[in-house]
Amino acid sequence: MKAHKSRFLKGKAIATKPIPANVPVTVLVEQYFQAYNAGRLGEACQLFTGRMLEKDVTVGMSLTGALTPAGLGGSCVVPLIENGFVDWIVSTGANLYHDTHFSIGRTLHKGTPFVDDRLLRKEGVIRIYDILFDYEVLLSTDDFFRTVMRNPEFQRRMGTAEMHYLMGKYVAERERVLGVKNASILAAAYRSGVPVYTSSPGDSSIGMNIAEASLAGFGVQIDVLRDVNETAALVLDAKRRGGKSGVLIFGGGSPKNFMLQTEPQIQEVLNIKEKGHDYFLQITDARPDTGGLSGATPSEAVSWGKVDPSMLPDTVVVYLDSTVAMPILTSYALARKKKRRLKRLYDRREEAMALLQREYEKASTRSR
């Protein structure tokens, strides 16, 4: 008698073949990441390369946690930008600030978390877990941003995308002068036309130095309301062009919410008909049961209108340290996908905002 084959047993059989030496990342992911969070990371790689990197998908990426001090800006984020795999970014200001250390010729060092921080303080050494660097690194980076922010083009009100674009020009020039290759997110985003937003611009050393410039009488002002509408406009523009929207989330926190709230801004606040982001891929070490946004699941996001409910199967959450997942995901994508044409969304911001304004006015007329 033939045994009944359950529909739940259609998945690929778990393999136990020995892993070879120096296995390529594609083989590692596709043949040896079989279960648990290795399995989820494998699914993330497949979702990212198989669906999110299609030419009609606009990909937003959020960055939280001290990723750039660990070198992940130049090693991973920059290649993602330059290969057209990321179209817009929401980052903590701290990631952009610490990333700039490398561009202006400063060094950070591998160390140990098991050290007396009182001794580090006496010797002028800063610690980010097991990364160590001289206090002068902070002072020189502060000086760089203070000097940049005093230039004439910054003496007005602007959103963070424009501010970071202008900063990126100076960072790129410093890299050129020093002979530094592809170190900075800001420089790469400037060259590739990728808008970079900071959801809490005052919550970083960049914001602190902007505040100093204000005390010194300079006229730079950050328009956070512009950022809210502009990010929503980029998503709406992608959808109205017949494309899709995908979000690639490293960590959680404010950047995650700022990226996902674009859809509630469109639907709930502006009353424009939309369905939510089409693809959701998150790398996080946060649990969902504590109520924090960093651990909130894509199915929960559906209830807010952040994710299209019909696309819920096209969502993956990997419970893993971003410093482990990001290099694997990046290397896998570079191996499996050809370079995409740059969308240069920075250059299309005004066009997208005009679309948002028109649809908002139509929606307002209908609701009267």
Q: Which two tokens stand for residue 185?
A: 């997110």
DSSP state of 5: -
φ and ψ at residue 57, rounded to 5 degrees: -100, 130
Distances in whole angstroms, Cα of residue 74 to Cα of each of 106, 158, 213, 295, 320: 14, 27, 28, 27, 21
For residues 240 and 77, give the distance between their C-alpha atoms in angstroms, rounded to a whole number. 27
Which of 306, 338, 343, 362 is catalytic? The answer is 306
Task: Note whether 133 and 125 are within 8 A (CB).
Answer: yes
- DSSP symbols for 123-171: TTEEEETTEEEEHHHHHHHHHHHHHHHTSGGGSSEE-HHHHHHHHHHHH
For residues 95 and 110, give the distance between their C-alpha atoms in angstroms, rounded to a whole number. 18
Q: Count H helices, E strands: the chain? A: 16, 11
275 is annotated as an active-site residue: no
> What is the gyration radius of the CA atoms in the chain, in angstroms?
22
First to last CA, the chain: 69
Element (H, E) at 22: none
Element (H, E) at 63: strand 57-63
Q: Which two tokens stand for residue 340?
A: 């995409």
Burial label for 223, CB within 10 Å (0-12, 13-18, 19+), is middle
Catalytic residues: 306
